């Protein structure tokens, strides 16, 4: 594993140290903080109409998959 040395201010170090979880390395802390996009970055990306259309589509898809699952389970049950 390659290693890099960086220089940060004391204030930055204290912020990073405060964000660090118990038994977590500084590298893992940085990756956790900087490596994953925040959901806030996606806020407002869809119009209300698009969001409603997407939500409706997701609900319809879930209903379809639920029905298909129930049919598969019913076929697996032994006949009495």
Supply the pLDDT for residue 80: 64
Full DSSP string of 27-70: HHHHHHHHHS--GGGGTT-S-HHHHHHHHHHHHHHHHHHHHHHH
Contact between 47 and 37 (Cβ < 8 Å): no
pLDDT over 90 at 1, yes or no:
no
- For 19-51, the pLDDT digits (tens) are 999 999 999 999 989 987 777 778 889 999 999
Q: Domain spans of the chain?
A: 46-76
Q: How many residues in total does the chain contain?
A: 80
How does residue 17 score in pLDDT terms, banded at 50, 70 and 90? very high
The CB density around residue 63, as the number of other CB atoms within 10 Å, is 10
């Amino acid at each position: 594993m390659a290693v890099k040395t960086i220089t940060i201010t004391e204030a930055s170090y204290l912020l990073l140290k405060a964000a660090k979880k118990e038994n977590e390395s500084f590298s893992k802390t940085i990756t956790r903080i900087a490596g994953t996009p925040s959901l806030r970055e996606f806020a407002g990306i869809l119009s209300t109409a698009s969001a409603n259309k997407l939500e409706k589509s997701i609900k319809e898809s879930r209903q379809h998959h639920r029905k298909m699952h129930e049919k598969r389970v019913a076929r697996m049950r032994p006949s009495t």
